[in-house]
Amino acid sequence: MKRTIWLIFAIALLSFSIPNSRKKWYSLFDGQSLSGWKVGDNAASFKVENGAIVVNGEVAHLFYDGHVMNHQFKNFELSADVMTTPGSNSGIYFHTQYQQGDWPQKGYEVQVNNSHTDWRRTGSLWAIQDVKENYVKDNEWFNMRIKVVGKQVTVYINNQLVVGYTEPQNPLREKGMEQRIISSGTFALQAHDPKSKVYYKNIKLRPL
């Protein structure tokens, strides 16, 4: 009897120590429409084709506005499959908020760029901790994961760590980037210019 009680206790204890890897993943994109997403100016820069969000057109940003966590995220892991075409530039913003036009003022941008003239390559925490190397190629699908826990930001490309950043207290930011700090908020996909064409699919998130 005592052995049975101890076994039950051990199982219960184990259940309380389940790591974050067991937390539920939520899909942010249904693969068919832009339901749950909101765009301001230049809405034509975003469309859905063959199960992917196609980003191509004038400067615009597509913000997640869906029901998951009421589109307010602080600690999380975001995963997306991405493909760039030659010369393209895009990005994924986090801890941002809806903005009708221009570049989002709030939050960080993780760069998506394998061959654009901007030297900051895919995975860069744009203008904060930049990546010069190419880890993936154009016209090939790759996986990007962005993880934020407390003040730590990590970015993985195909499971390879490319950025590990810890935000200091009272970080110094250039003019116009004062809100590029860890807080909370939603996500946004960037349409950079008409010559850039980037695809996103399998966009999912788990809160941490």
Q: Is the CATH code 1.10.10.370 the one for domain 25-207?
A: no
Give the model's pLDDT for residue 8.
44
| Mean pLDDT of the chain, nearest integer | 92
24 token code pair:
């539920």
Q: Quote the CA–CA distance of 153 and 146 in Å, as a whole number.
A: 7
Q: Can you name the residues that pair with 110 across neighbouring β-strands?
A: 92, 125
pLDDT at 2 over 60: no
Closest by alpha carbon to 197, among 115, 107, 78?
115
Domains of the chain by residue range: 25-207
Element of type H or E holding 2: helix 2-16
23 pLDDT higher than 90:
no
What's the chain's Rg over C-alpha atoms? Answer: 19
Q: What is the pTM of this model?
A: 0.88
pLDDT in tens, 83-108: 999 999 999 999 999 999 999 999 99
Nearest-angstrom CA–CA distance, 149 and 179 = 18
DSSP string, 5-62: HHHHHHHHHHHHT--GGGSPPEES--SS--TTEEE-S-GGGEEEETTEEEE-SSSEEE
pLDDT tens column, 161-171: 999 999 999 99
Longest dimension (CA), the chain: 72
Least confident segment among 34-38, 42-46, 169-173: 169-173
At residue 22, the pLDDT reads 62
Residue 208 CA to residue 205 CA, distance in Å, equals 10
